[in-house]
Amino acid sequence: MAYDQTDAAPTLAARLDAELRDAHPLTILRKAYETFGDKLALVSSFGAESAVLLHLASQVSKDIPVLFLDTGMLFGQTLDYRKSLAAQLGLTDVRDLRPAFADLAVQDPKSDLWRTDTDACCHIRKVLPLDRALEGFTAWCTGRKRFHGGDRLRLAVVEEADGQIKFNPLANWSKAELDAYAAEHQLPAHPLVAQGFPSLGCWPCTKPVDDPNADVRAGRWQGQDKTECGIHVARAPGAAPNMGGDI
């Protein structure tokens, strides 16, 4: 089915979701690329489960812009993994998004804002850089899945956010399906997964998890109510830091 991009984003998202809600992730990515072409981006953390979506995307086009939030607080292993995985998959357009120097100078000159205000820290290191990068795109893909729980249990395959179309190609997949896909295609795991990290973020806010039955994201922002970084929450330009949403 062809789509008229002059339709309002909510209408377009609803139509695409109706068509794709039970589709295979590769079908979803192909439709996203076919519909939006060079106005489509993919956001990846190059974290614990990122290789699957990146491999699927590379089957559609190796030129899809991949937006990587380099917060300045990532594990060195994540930066190494970003380079090696992108090279292995042949991805040609991985863009490293960094916080604005002015924001750091004013709000986090000692790089310790995470100790006192994690929402503000995520805002300048994740939300604002991604907002700036997405200005040139009409649609983007995320790696979120329903099995991560919380608000993600109700995740749509295609949704509208701030006037843009957001695809969640892996929304329907289980952990077992992800693992099976990674094994079938011999995708390299993030090196810290073997050290007990089921989910990877910034080093100050990510801990290993001993309990195999714990939530996948149990190691993120431990001891806080915060469970998400805020990049998926609809907001007005210049809005205050918020909770909710992550890659």
Stretch that binds ligand SF4, among 2-10, 49-57, 140-148, 202-210 (CB under 6 A): 202-210
Q: How many CB atoms lie within 10 A of CB 31?
A: 20
Q: Of 54, 62, 49, which Cα lies nearest the Cα of 85?
A: 54
73 binds ligand SF4 (CB under 6 A): yes
Planar angle of CA 174, 178, 183, nearest 5 degrees? 145
Q: Minimum Å distance from CB 150 to ligand SF4?
A: 16
199 binds ligand SF4 (CB under 6 A): no
Residue type for 166, please?
A: K
Sheet arrangement for strand 164-167 = 94-97, 66-69, 40-44, 139-141, 164-167, 158-161
Whole-number Å distance between alpha carbons of 206 and 201: 6
- Taking CB under 6 A as the criterion, the residue among 97, 202, 209, 231 binding ligand SF4 is 202
Candidates 12, 67, 69, 229; catalytic one: 229
25 binds ligand SF4 (CB under 6 A): no
Stretch that binds ligand SF4, among 8-16, 22-30, 117-125, 164-172 (CB under 6 A): 117-125
How many residues in the shown chain lie near ligand SF4 by CB under 6 A? 13
43 binds ligand SF4 (CB under 6 A): no
Q: How many CB atoms lie within 10 A of CB 116?
A: 9
State which residue, 62 or 226, has the beta carbon closest to ligand SF4: 226
Whole-number Å distance between alpha carbons of 242 and 235: 9
- Cβ contacts of 107 within 8 Å, gap of 6 or more: 113, 120, 124
126 binds ligand SF4 (CB under 6 A): yes
Residue type for 141, please?
A: C
State which residue, 58 or 206, has the beta carbon closest to ligand SF4: 206
Q: What are the catalytic residues?
A: 229
Chain residues in the site for ligand SF4 (CB under 6 A): 71, 73, 114, 118, 121-122, 125-126, 201-202, 204-205, 229
